[in-house]
């Protein structure tokens, strides 16, 4: 399949490499910055342009991998593409933002944290949608060539998936950031926590998270909780999160005890 990629960021880099790996032809990369477009074009063995008016008419599928803000204004800067299917890669933007850009349009949302510099391409679940059954079938076939995990979801469902992804990935990473800072400041080796983190995540493949909860909060161990909060008194962000999450865990697992 002939593919054109519009955008030069993390998603464009990783999806482009995946598309190339799966033996599709990337015919063009388009981006606002000429240097970025040229570099990604070289990487993906494709022509490049920094003029959206010069986007090729020869692609079967156009992947618009730009920021949500740019995507919502795409009808102002992206010309109407009458041939091929146009898809965007956003989790929280309706597919209808493309209705004035193409006759056939949809979504190809990679449910993964993607960074352009990664060496090994990760497994990338793809959430898809289309303006019609025919379009959806074409997108599904393309997505299936890239990933073994393809799911259909309308705008509302995809937004809910995106919300879950933010909580599970972005919020947990923020906690890791605070813990790493804590370890650095306290001269502790964060790598000691890595087996625990991997084990915790690994268990989720086989068990529901609700039965895996451990720690002082689920035991309602007030003494340990108090000691931890005292240790964190010079780390206000981490202390606040510890207190809030502890209260939430106690409330969640002990809410029926006083009835």
**What's the pLDDT tens digit per position in 121-145?**
999 999 999 999 999 999 999 999 9
Share of the chain above pLDDT 90, in %: 95
Give residue 255's pLDDT band: very low, low, confident or very high (50, 70, 90): confident
pTM for the predicted model, two decimal places = 0.92
**Residue-level pLDDT at 259:** 45
Sequence-ordered alpha helix ranges (H) in 166-259: 172-185, 194-203, 216-219, 222-231, 236-254
Q: Torsions phi, psi of 191, nearest 5?
A: -60, -20
Task: Classify domain 2-153 at the CATH class level.
Answer: alpha beta
How far are the Cα atoms of 6, 10, 28 from residue 128, in angstroms, in the given order? 18, 19, 22
Instruction: Return the domain boundaries, the chain.
Output: 2-153, 159-254
Per-residue model confidence as pLDDT tens digits over 77-107: 999 987 899 999 999 999 999 999 999 999 9
CB distance 183 to 157 below 8 Å: no
CA 219 to chain centre: 34
The CATH number, out of the four listed (3.40.640.10, 1.10.1040.20, 3.40.1190.20, 3.30.70.380), of the domain defined by the range 159-254:
1.10.1040.20
Q: Residue 47 in contact with residue 29, Cβ under 8 Å?
A: yes
Quick check: 141 and 85 in contact, CB under 8 A?
no
Largest CA distance in the chain: 68
33-56 confidence digits (pLDDT tens)? 999 999 999 999 999 999 999 999
């Amino acid at each position: 399949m002939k593919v054109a990629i519009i955008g030069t960021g993390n998603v464009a880099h990783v999806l482009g490499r995946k598309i190339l790996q799966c033996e599709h032809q990337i015919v063009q990369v388009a981006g606002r910055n000429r240097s970025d477009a040229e570099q990604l074009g070289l990487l993906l063995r494709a022509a490049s342009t920094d003029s959206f008016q010069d986007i090729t008419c020869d692609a079967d599928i156009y992947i618009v991998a730009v920021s949500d803000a740019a995507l919502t204004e795409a009808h102002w800067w992206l010309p109407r593409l009458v041939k091929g299917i146009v898809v965007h890669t956003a989790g929280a933007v309706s597919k209808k933002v493309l209705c004035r850009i193409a006759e056939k349009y949809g979504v190809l949302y990679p449910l993964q944290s993607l960074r352009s510099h990664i060496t090994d391409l990760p497994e990338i679940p793809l959430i898809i949608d289309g303006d019609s059954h025919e379009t959806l079938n074409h997108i599904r076939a393309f997505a299936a060539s890239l990933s073994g995990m393809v799911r259909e979801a309308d705008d509302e469902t995809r937004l809910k998936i995106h919300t879950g992804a933010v909580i599970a990935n972005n919020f947990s990473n923020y906690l890791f950031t605070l813990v790493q800072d804590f370890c650095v400041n306290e001269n502790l080796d964060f790598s000691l926590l890595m087996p625990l983190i991997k084990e915790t995540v690994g268990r989720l493949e086989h068990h529901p998270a609700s039965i895996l909860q451990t720690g002082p909060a689920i035991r309602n161990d007030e003494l340990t909780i108090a000691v931890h909060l005292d240790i964190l008194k010079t780390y206000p962000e981490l202390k606040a999160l510890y207190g809030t999450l502890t209260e939430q865990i106690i409330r969640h697992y002990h809410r029926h005890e006083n009835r």
